[in-house]
Amino acid sequence: MNAEPIARVRINLAHITPEVWRRVEVPLGLNLKGLHDVIQAAFGWLDYHLFEFQIGATRFGIPDADWDDDKVRQAKSIKLAALVANGIDRFGYLYDFGDHWEHVVVIETTAIGDPELTYPRFVDGARRCPPEDVGSVSGFFEFLEAILDPRHDEHPRMLEWYGGPYDPNDIGLPDIHRRIAVLAKRRRTGQIAYTKSRLKR
């Protein structure tokens, strides 16, 4: 495959200390829906809930007619390249409107990617993502207090609810690499199919 422009992006989960963060490399041709998929894979979110990017005064997500909200634009309608071209290198990402997980997305650098690598690509990060439906930041801290203390009254219930032990320092690298690889393979397969279709014309 030919080399393509990429962005190195860092994503921080807001209001959590110590920080839960990820760094990824993604093609500049990726749209915001694609970036959503990468964030989900890198953090270990399960894509159960709605999401939204906040870029200036504009919100990008998946418009829902039931909500009668015409202020949300399609996340597929804008690519990272357009953001970079307009000098936008920092914006918000909200996942799960109930638990309200706020993320800060920073485009750190842009470059020409390595043609020997597939993108998106996980670079580094720290700490395990909170479980889905744990009840926002406050619920997460309550969960941590209970599940990390065998003497806590809620410890057995939290173990059962989560499905086993939870180590906040274990980022879960094998699962992250597996999930990112699925996205990279899907994208590369699409590129190959597109190239073949062009050659047949």
Architecture of the domain spanning 5-128+167-199: Roll (3.10)
pLDDT tens over the chain, length 201 residues? 578 999 999 999 999 999 999 999 999 999 999 999 999 999 999 999 999 999 999 999 998 766 656 689 999 999 999 999 999 999 999 999 999 999 999 999 999 999 999 999 999 999 999 999 999 999 999 999 999 999 999 999 999 999 999 999 999 999 999 999 999 999 876 565 444 555 566
Residue 194 is predicted with a pLDDT of 46
d(CA 9, CA 53): 15
| CA gap 160, 144 in Å, rounded | 14
Could you tell me the two tokens for 12?
């921080």
Its pTM stands at 0.92
Distance CA 51, CA 36 (A): 8
Residue 184: closest CA among 123, 124, 121, 125: 121
